[in-house]
Structure formats: structure tokens, C-alpha cells
Chains A and B, each alone.
Chain A
Amino acid sequence: MSYLFSAFAIVWIVFFLYLLHLAKQGKEIRRDLRALKRQLEKEEKG
């Protein structure tokens, strides 16, 4: 029974960590995109 539990637990832990990683990366890129867009807008106006 412990083998069965381990197998199912590992699958969900791996998926959870991967989705967390994707969310973190997405957040960082969105932040960089916003900053760069602001900078470009400023340059175009200036």
C-alpha cells in the first residue's frame, strides 16, 4: 500500500512543482514586459 501511495504522491508533487515553476516564470516575464513597455512608451513620448 505504501508503494501505491508513493507513486500517486510523486506524480502530484511533480506536477504541483512544475506548475509552480511555470507560474513563477510567468510572473517574472510579465513584470519585465510591463517595465519594458513603460520604458518604450516613455521614450516614444520623450
Chain B
Amino acid sequence: MSYAHTQKPAPPSTPLKEQWLEVGSKTYDFLTIGGALVLMVGALYLGLLYAPTERIQGEAYRIIYVHVPVAWIAFLAFGLVGVMSALYLWKKDRRLDIYAHSLAEVGVIFCTLILLTGPIWGRPIWGVWWVWDMRLTLTLLLWFIYVGYLMIRAQDLEPGRKARYAAVLGIFGALTIPLNHFSVQLWRTLHPQPVVLTERGFGSGLTDPAFLIALVVSSVAFAVLFAAVLRQRISLEWMREELAQLQHRAAEGQ
């Protein structure tokens, strides 16, 4: 596999997987995996026991303690795919392409969770699993865009061309995120209006501070989990890259 004419390959002097957080990678793993476990226990306690029951929605409202954090993280991941893709098209650095690919895959996992947990909340609250509401439809579209992105990645194309096609789609997907965010204000939708990031201030839409505390801790827990999973995914991609380079070397030697 050669990237010679289209991409700058990662420097070959050290094993490729070690270039990602070469210094302190074990510390990083320990902090993120251990931190995610501890924070998740805290988030479960705060979300399921500490935060009071919501007056109108009852216990089902507690689904927001997973639904909202995974949504924020998915949007963050896809936003970063857009940034990495744009930088890749500019710099042609293979490392940026690897980060974009890994972010997209982990982002799709989080986006899948938005689409699974949302209807489970919608069924008891709205009485239906799904409505073709603008926010829901745009989120489904976002999921399709990045599933398409991963399908491009799975194609047997020349690596440089494949990376360019994926980068263009990655940027396009990221550009739809602001529209998704503001869709509840721009259109009449069933989806609830923002209660945390509002014009009146952070968390001003929540009536009890316990709601905000549980949501913030849960979001931090999912963010740390995201960092841990992303590191594993990037590490896997480095190993694939190293394998491809060794296969190339072996083929040249024959």
C-alpha cells in the first residue's frame, strides 16, 4: 500500500501505534478507563437516585442522563471529523486522516445511541416511538452521512483517493451540525427546547440544581469514556497502518 504521491505517511522511525500519545500512553489509559468507570458509577447514582423525579414526565425523564450526553459527544466527534478532514485536505498528513476515520467510527456509535435512547424516551412521553420531527430527521440524516463515510472507508479504492472522498463527506456532515442544533428553534418541533445551553444562561431551563449536577457529571463521564474508546480505536488504526507498511516492505523484498 503506497501513499507516496498523495499523502505524507506517518514517520516510519518508531512503531506507528506509539506515535499516538507516545509519552505516558499507559497513564492515559489508566486515567481514562479508570476515570470513566468511577465517573459512570457516580453518574448512575446521581441520575437514578440523587436527582428528583420530574413532575410531569415521571421516572422516564431520567433517560436524558444518557441521551443528552451521548448526543453532545456524537456532535463533538463529528465536529472534530470535520476539522481533521479539512486539515487533512490541506496538509495531506496521513495522521489527520487516521484521527478523522477513528473519530467518525466512535461518533457513529454515539449517534446510534442517540437514535436508540431517544425513541425509548419518546414512547412514554409522546406516545409514539418516532415522529418525522426536524431534529429527529436531521439526526437520522447525520447518522446516514457518517455510516456512508464508513462505507467509503471500507471500499477497495486507492488510499489517497478514498481519504479525499471521505474527508469531503466528513466536512459536509459536520456542516449540518449547527442546523441540527438550531432546528428546535427554527422549526416547530416536538423535540424539547434546549434547557442547558440557553440564551438565559447555562442550565437556566432546569428547575432544580440537582438536574444540572446529574447531567454535568454524566456528560463528563461519557466524555472520559469517549476519550478512552477513541484512544483504543486510533491505536487499532496505527497497527493497521504498520501492518500495511510491513506488507508493502515484504512485497518489495520478494
A interface, CB within 8 angstroms of B: 1, 3-4, 6-8, 10-11, 14-15, 18-19, 22, 25-26, 29-30, 32-33, 36-37, 39-40, 43
Chosen A-B contacts, 23 in total, with CB atoms closer than 8 Å, are A1-B59, A3-B120, A4-B48, A4-B63, A7-B66, A10-B113, A10-B116, A10-B117, A14-B113, A15-B109, A15-B225, A15-B229, A19-B232, A22-B229, A22-B232, A22-B236, A29-B236, A29-B243, A30-B239, A33-B243, A36-B246, A36-B247, A39-B250
Report A-chain residues with C-beta under 8 Å of the C-beta of B123.
Answer: 3
Residue of B nearest to A23 (CB): B232
- A7-B120, A22-B233, A40-B249 known; A14 and B242 CB under 8 Å? no
Residues of B within 8 A of A (CB): 44, 48, 59-60, 62-63, 66-67, 70, 109, 112-113, 116-117, 120-121, 123-124, 225, 229, 232-233, 235-236, 239-240, 242-243, 246-247, 249-250, 253
**Chain A residue at minimal CB-CB distance from B64:** A7
Among candidates B62, B66, B246, residue contacting A11 with C-beta atoms closer than 8 Å: B66
Query: Nearest Cβ in chain A — how far from B70, in angstroms?
Result: 7
Name which residue of chain B comes closest to A1, CB basis: B59
Q: In the bound complex, how far is the Cα of B79 from the Cα of A22, in angstroms?
A: 23
